[in-house]
Chain A
């Protein structure tokens, strides 16, 4: 889930903060301090996150495009100038453009807006934007909600009392509401100082940037893993079941399926599954070799040499062309598979299916999947030449059966289908018309025609006429017109 940090560099951010007995700080220094902490955290615990840095005043600028290089981001923080007034709407519009250009419209992004709560004056101020946001046309619509799944975190370099004294807090809350409630406002608890800024950013980190650790299990084979990006809670139906579903920290493999059978299923999100060595375990394993001066690098080397289930699983999934079905929670499943990034690099990846008893119609209900050893005979065949998948639906779709649609004249088809549909649609005139047509054909038959042709044509015509009267047994929907029984092989004189 990429992050865009949107930093307010308007003049109001240079307002001094009085801290007793130390040098003078400005709010922007506090902001930079907080962001430094965030970047440092990401650099160590959330390395794979892409982050971009945008600064804004009345204009906005992309200081650092999406990157995993946190040094660059850090450097940019110390190279920021001060500009004029705050104009939030254009900055948010800028965020829309940057994200859509880079990631499109379906990848969730986190927007971290750092501001002092002075939201500008006059045109372009947030107050003005919000007041006019109902009078917009499609072309200049307010940028919220963001046109991609998002969380908007607003980090205020101000405390609650300060924001409440103006209508700033109301306006910011409106922003979150406009983003369909996706996001949160953070304010500084107590006096403005480095320590309190740290604790505010600490809360953001806890909320949005703590790595998701889990245990991958396949029976007794287990591995500690980090799942990146963090799986987001999911709401199935806000009306019936408004409580967001969260995935288990025990990821339990329940069985395996061939890639051809799972067949590019739709997924909510994809995640890397990275094996990790937890400190405790690491120490245990390393006994005898570990000494206290050991650096992180050699600890990693040791971890690299300890067999890990993830690596085994990944290797076999890749070789066999299979996926592992993994249980994520009650009635929630996903799949693990090998994903190649390039020819050399590949990784264990996990995709989440939509929660529910039957996420993929072609597999049927997940709870009904069982081990092949319980089946009377191996459903994959002795030579692995069969498959129990895909499951066939009870009713065929219209395109998989011969449905009759007569809206266009080209849709009028063969006799019995025609007859049935005419009866259903109550289009009896058609039957009469076709009967007439057949009778006419009969009179036009060339001399060379088989004598049976005449019999069959007039028979069909008679049957259709009977049906068109709408009275007799011949109108029964399921009745079928069968060919006249004729016999030209024997003595024809008898028949005549």
Chain B
């Protein structure tokens, strides 16, 4: 359906002239209490609705169904006409609900039978209806603004449903002429206005209603084109239930609705709680929900609906739902529903059942007797939808399994970790607009993409590709380092994690290094730690541009991690000696462990003091102009040639301490670019010249490093 079809704008014009106060002459059974009593009570006088009451309640029912099925983009403007037009609401979306209309109608009240009929007319309302059709809706406005130079593509069509009591066919013709003329005039006005739109197409639906038992003075007439802009149809309908039935048919025609009757709904009987009888409930919805039946001609019409023989309904059978298992059905459409009999007991039982969160599958009865599930009823946030499930053969049947394709033979994917990643990257609605620092609107979905980008900067897909993500000890760092910004506590946790790793290395704890693809036992322990530190560095480096605090984590890591290659070599040799010692002196081992525990305790003490120091550093901030501290060693140099204590273990207390001081100091000034980029404390000058010369020089640069 086009967005701006005739159904975008519906104007109700309801006659409020004195003759509408007349009774419809169909009694309302309201004295129900008498039925079950003993005799001897005088029944109360019968009452009946006025023509006005019948008209209003039928049009409200039309609106109820329409709002249920199309809560947006289908708008109603309600006008009451007597000595002048009373426009009860506007096209704005806030005005589009039953409560607003009911309150406005209550304020109008029933027509005054004693008012002067001479000065009352439905014409006032019809003129106002044309006027209101020229008014632009917010949807039209939005579309026009968006389309810019193509704004003329936005159509302006509408429908006027006029309920009145006409005097004759010529009276009806007079009303049509009036509408025709008014459209002509208002289109002229609208042509010269920015706020109004010319009416391209208007459907006039004139409903003549009269008391039951009287003869109609007006004849029915099917839709007829009166001009290229205006079509008109006339319905002559008895008041009372007949009028309600007519408007129910019209709402279905106007909004392309179809009817589905759910049969075999088991329900507890009010009187006999143990038994349950089967009920039927009729629902209305967009007819697209029946598209498969319509096209295949396999339409199972349940004959006529209970109201009479005027319309078709498709019968679907209720399938008692199993336990609430969450399943993703292949659903080709979902359409809002509205029960025909909204407050009947079977209807409300069904809708309440659904509103409580249960879904019901519906089965299509087939002549062959085979069972085909074709639809599902399900509520989402207080709205019930009829889902169309695909019941035909799938064109994707028997696809190659994912295990047969690329990457299908790999068996150690980090499935659980990625599951955790997905849960951290779940979405949630942000209904209130947020703003960036520069005042522009922040789109939550863009934030979600940013987060995914950050979280995946370093994300090995398989277990054998990573060490750090297989280590519980790294979790506190890995989980926060991906964040956009870190708190001081985060930084501290990262530092603790690093110290903890240092401690592990001291204790020579084994690492979960994959031995896949290697022969024998795999790499030596110190080699394992080198791999682990390298990987951790990769992770942290991927985030150093997030914030200055991320930088601090890297600094801590660089200060603590094990030594560069030449140092490694020396250490390796030392380690070999150690291994031998280990084998020979088993007794000494216990002592070793004791000692390393003491070490780690002392480390904790340092950590505590470090914390205090950190706080201090935060308070006393040097200005960027202050001179560089004399003992400051550049970061990179520190990495390449650690200052002191190289004999045993990855790091001595002294070096830990001085590194901490150095790091704290280094934060107080901006490092020279040359020094940052220097190799072995030597910065290469005129690098850009070499870069211009291309690859060769860059390789030279590398070579000079070795």
Known: A219-B454, A373-B451, A425-B56. A264 touches B106 (CB 8 A): no
Min CB–CB distance A299 → chain B (angstroms): 11
Cβ < 8 Å to B, chain A residues 457-496: 470, 475, 477-478
Do A239 and B2 have beta carbons less than 8 Å apart? Answer: yes
Provide the bound-state CA to CA distance between A23 and B29, in Å.
Answer: 93
Q: Is A246 close to B, CB under 8 A?
A: no
Known: A267-B331, A312-B413. A405 touches B44 (CB 8 A): no
Do B422 and A256 have beta carbons less than 8 Å apart? Answer: yes
Chain A contacts for B636, CB-based, 8 A: none
| Beyond A389-B429, A399-B68, A437-B33, 16 extra complex contacts between A and B, CB < 8 Å | A221-B456, A239-B4, A258-B326, A264-B329, A264-B376, A264-B378, A264-B387, A304-B404, A316-B421, A325-B427, A341-B399, A361-B381, A367-B443, A368-B430, A434-B30, A477-B102
Q: Is A114 close to B, CB under 8 A?
A: no
Q: Which of A223, A341, A351, A369 makes the CB contact (< 8 A) with B398?
A: A341
Q: Can you list, as one digit per residue, whether each of A308-320 has a CB less than 8 Å from chain B (1) or not (0)?
A: 1111111111011
Do A397 and B338 have beta carbons less than 8 Å apart? Answer: yes
Do B419 and A403 have beta carbons less than 8 Å apart? Answer: no
Provide the bound-state CA to CA distance between A146 and B56, in Å.
Answer: 44
Do A276 and B406 have beta carbons less than 8 Å apart? Answer: yes
Q: Which of A303, A305, A375 makes the CB contact (< 8 A) with B428?
A: A375
Q: Is A421 close to B, CB under 8 A?
A: yes
Segment from A55-63, A85-93, A181-189, A408-416 that makes contact with B: A408-416
Q: How large is the interface on A (under 10, 10 to 19, 20 to 34, 35 or more residues)?
A: 35 or more
Segment from B158-166, B265-273, B290-298 that makes contact with A: B290-298
Provide the bound-state CA to CA distance between A367 and B344, in Å.
Answer: 40
Provide the bound-state CA to CA distance between A254 and B339, in Å.
Answer: 37
Segment from B107-115, B556-564, B586-594 that makes contact with A: B107-115
Do B292 and A106 have beta carbons less than 8 Å apart? Answer: yes
Do B333 and A266 have beta carbons less than 8 Å apart? Answer: yes
Q: Can you list, as one digit per residue, whether each of A29-64 has a CB less than 8 Å from chain B (1) or not (0)?
A: 000000000000000000010100000000000000
Chain A contacts for B395, CB-based, 8 A: 1-2, 50, 103, 107, 229
Segment from B57-65, B216-224, B616-624, B678-686 that makes contact with A: B57-65
Do B4 and A240 have beta carbons less than 8 Å apart? Answer: yes
Highest count of chain B CB atoms <10 Å: which of A254, A351, A407:
A407
Chain B contacts for A367, CB-based, 8 A: 443-445
Highest count of chain A CB atoms <10 Å: which of B33, B154, B332, B454:
B332
Q: Is A173 close to B, CB under 8 A?
A: no
Provide the bound-state CA to CA distance between A408 and B457, in Å.
Answer: 65
Q: Is A130 close to B, CB under 8 A?
A: no
Do B382 and A392 have beta carbons less than 8 Å apart? Answer: yes
Min CB–CB distance A439 → chain B (angstroms): 10
Do B376 and A307 have beta carbons less than 8 Å apart? Answer: no
Q: Can you list, as one digit per residue, whether each of B47-71 has a CB less than 8 Å from chain A (1) or not (0)?
A: 1111011001110110011011001
Known: A367-B444, A370-B447. A266 touches B388 (CB 8 A): yes
Segment from B458-466, B497-505, B575-583 that makes contact with A: B458-466
Chain A contacts for B295, CB-based, 8 A: 100, 104-106, 147-148
Known: A397-B382, A399-B342. A311 touches B402 (CB 8 A): yes
Do A262 and B328 have beta carbons less than 8 Å apart? Answer: yes
Q: Which of B30, B351, B425, B429 makes the CB contact (< 8 A) with A430?
A: B30
Do A253 and B443 have beta carbons less than 8 Å apart? Answer: no
Chain A contacts for B452, CB-based, 8 A: 218-219, 253-255
Q: Is B155 close to A, CB under 8 A?
A: yes
Closest to A147 in B: B295
Chain B contacts for A369, CB-based, 8 A: 427-430, 444-445, 448
Q: Is B396 close to A, CB under 8 A?
A: yes
Do B296 and A100 have beta carbons less than 8 Å apart? Answer: yes
Min CB–CB distance A470 → chain B (angstroms): 6
Do A395 and B71 have beta carbons less than 8 Å apart? Answer: yes
Q: Is B279 close to A, CB under 8 A?
A: no
Highest count of chain B CB atoms <10 Å: which of A104, A322, A323, A380:
A104
Do A433 and B105 have beta carbons less than 8 Å apart? Answer: no
Min CB–CB distance A293 → chain B (angstroms): 22
Chain B contacts for A440, CB-based, 8 A: 41, 44
Q: Is B392 close to A, CB under 8 A?
A: yes
Known: A255-B425, A311-B413, A440-B41. A403 touches B343 (CB 8 A): yes
Do B330 and A270 have beta carbons less than 8 Å apart? Answer: yes
Closest to A325 in B: B427
Q: Is B103 close to A, CB under 8 A?
A: yes
What would 10 A/B residue contacts be, using CB atoms closer than 8 Å?
A263-B378, A315-B415, A320-B422, A341-B396, A347-B402, A367-B444, A370-B427, A392-B382, A405-B342, A423-B106
Q: Which of A48, A371, A405 makes the CB contact (< 8 A) with B451?
A: A371
Q: Can you list, as one digit per residue, whether each of B403-446 has a CB less than 8 Å from chain A (1) or not (0)?
A: 11111111001111011011111111111000000000001110
Chain B contacts for A373, CB-based, 8 A: 424, 451, 483
Do A441 and B431 have beta carbons less than 8 Å apart? Answer: no
Do B327 and A264 have beta carbons less than 8 Å apart? Answer: yes
Q: Is A212 close to B, CB under 8 A?
A: no
Provide the bound-state CA to CA distance between A363 and B426, in Å.
Answer: 13
Cβ < 8 Å to B, chain A residues 210-231: 218-221, 223, 228-229
Chain A contacts for B483, CB-based, 8 A: 373
Cβ < 8 Å to A, chain B residues 141-178: 143, 147, 153-155
Chain B contacts for A388, CB-based, 8 A: 428-429
Do B456 and A218 have beta carbons less than 8 Å apart? Answer: yes
Q: Which of A220, A229, A322, A362 makes the CB contact (< 8 A) with B456?
A: A220
